[in-house]
Amino acid sequence: MSQQRIEVSLAGQKITLATSAEHEPLLRAACVLVDEQIQLAISGGNRSIERASMMAALKIAGDLITLQKNQTPQSTSSNVSSDEVTRLQSEIRALEDQVDALMQTLSLPGSPRPIVP
């Protein structure tokens, strides 16, 4: 993974960061989010960029913690991948088809014959 340099703007200041091509879109999106939060903190009355940056970091960290808390019960109760769910659904459909086919041919003594569609 080779590193490249990208230029971003945070709080009106140009900053050069090193990243891989693979991670560049995520880094740019993160910079946009951080810059937005800094600008909100400045417009909310914080005069120093350092204080606004700390307030932005606290806001983003709080959002992250809230998101992690909301996702924890789901992740522990469901450790099955979507591929596994799809595979199991396919198996269930195949078993249902087999049961339907057997029900159409099954006739117990004294019971009416199944209705064939």
Enclosing domain of residue 48: 3-80
3-state SS, residue 107: coil
- Confidence at 104, pLDDT banded by 50, 70, 90: low
What is the pTM for the complete model shown? Answer: 0.58
- For 38, counting Cβ atoms within 10 Å of its Cβ (0-12 exposed, 13-18 middle, 19+ buried), the class is buried
pLDDT digits (tens, 9 = 90+) for 81-90: 888 888 888 8
* Pairwise CA distance, residues 12 & 34, whole Å: 12
Residue 76 phi, psi dihedral angles, 5° rounding: -80, -30
Residue 105 lies in a domain: no
Residue 115 lies in a domain: no
Residue 112 lies in a domain: no
Domain count, the chain: 1
Strands (E), the chain: 3-10, 13-20
Residue 49 lies in a domain: yes
pLDDT digits (tens, 9 = 90+) for 28-60: 999 999 999 999 999 998 888 899 999 999 999
